[in-house]
Amino acid sequence: MSVLVERDHVGIFGKMNAGKSSIMNLLTQQETSIVAAVPGTTADTKIALQEIHGLGPVKLMDTAGLDEQGDLGAKKRQKTYRDLKECDLVILVINPADKAWAAESDLLEKSRELDKQLLVVYNIFGQDEAVATALEKDLAPLRFYKKIILRANDPRYRPALLDFILQNYVPKQDKTELLPFVQRNEYYVLIIPMDEETPPGRYLRP
C-alpha cells in the first residue's frame, strides 16, 4: 500500500551570531543560509527540504536570532516562536563565550511547555572546549539535555553532528496512506483524462 511519509521538522534556534546558519549549512552541505558577522543576518526563517540518511525526509528551519532588539526584533521573535510550535526537534545553538542567557532560558522553557525534543549544540568557534563545560553553572536547565561541542564552520564536524542527532532524536515517522481504500488482490479502474492537446501515442501519468 502506498504511503506518504511526513517530514520531521527540525528547527535551529539561538541568538544572533551563535552559528545557527552555519549549522544549517553544515547539515545541508551547501550555502543554504547566508553566514556573516553582522548581527541579524537571518531576517526570516530559511527553509531547506532534505533527506538525511538514517532519519529520512526532514524540513530544516534556520530561524532568526532570539535576542534582536526593537520592533523588528520583536516581530522576528514572534515568527520564531511560531516556528517552534511546528518543530519535532529543536536544535539550540549556543556560543559559550556569551555571558547573558535570558534568550536561551526562555527558549528552553517554551520548548519544555510544548513538550519538544531538544538537543544542544555548543558552537565554540575558535575557543577551548572547556568554556562550554562551565556554561551549565550559569544555565542549569542545560543539564537535562544532550549536547555536543563543535565548530559549526568546520565541515569535518558534520558526521559527528549527524550521529549526535540520530542517536538522541526519536523521529515521529508519521505516515499517511495515499489510497487508503485500495485493498490487496482487488481490481480497480484507473481513469486518465485525455484531451486534444495530449501528445499522440502517449498516456498522461495519473
- Residue-wise pLDDT tens digits, 53-101: 888 889 999 999 998 888 888 898 899 999 999 999 999 999 988 888 9
Of 201 and 67, the one with more pLDDT: 67
The second-level CATH assignment, the architecture, of 8-168 is 3-Layer(aba) Sandwich (3.40)
Interatomic CA distance for residues 178 and 91, integer angstroms: 31
Contacts of 5 (CB under 8 A, 6+ apart): 56, 57, 173, 174, 175
Interatomic CA distance for residues 123 and 126, integer angstroms: 9
- Percentage of the chain exceeding pLDDT 90: 48
- Residue 17 pLDDT > 80, yes or no? yes
Copy the grid coordinates of residue 146: 544532550
What pLDDT, in 10s, does the model give residues 131-154? 777 787 888 899 899 999 999 999
Paired strand residues for 12: 62, 91
Task: Map out the domains of the chain as residue ranges.
Answer: 8-168
- Percentage of the chain exceeding pLDDT 70: 79
Angle of helix 70-86 relative to helix 102-113, nearest 10 degrees, comes to: 30
**Residue 194 pLDDT grade (very low, low, confident, very high; cuts 50, 70, 90):** low
Residue of 51, 59, 66 lying closest to 18 (CA atoms): 66
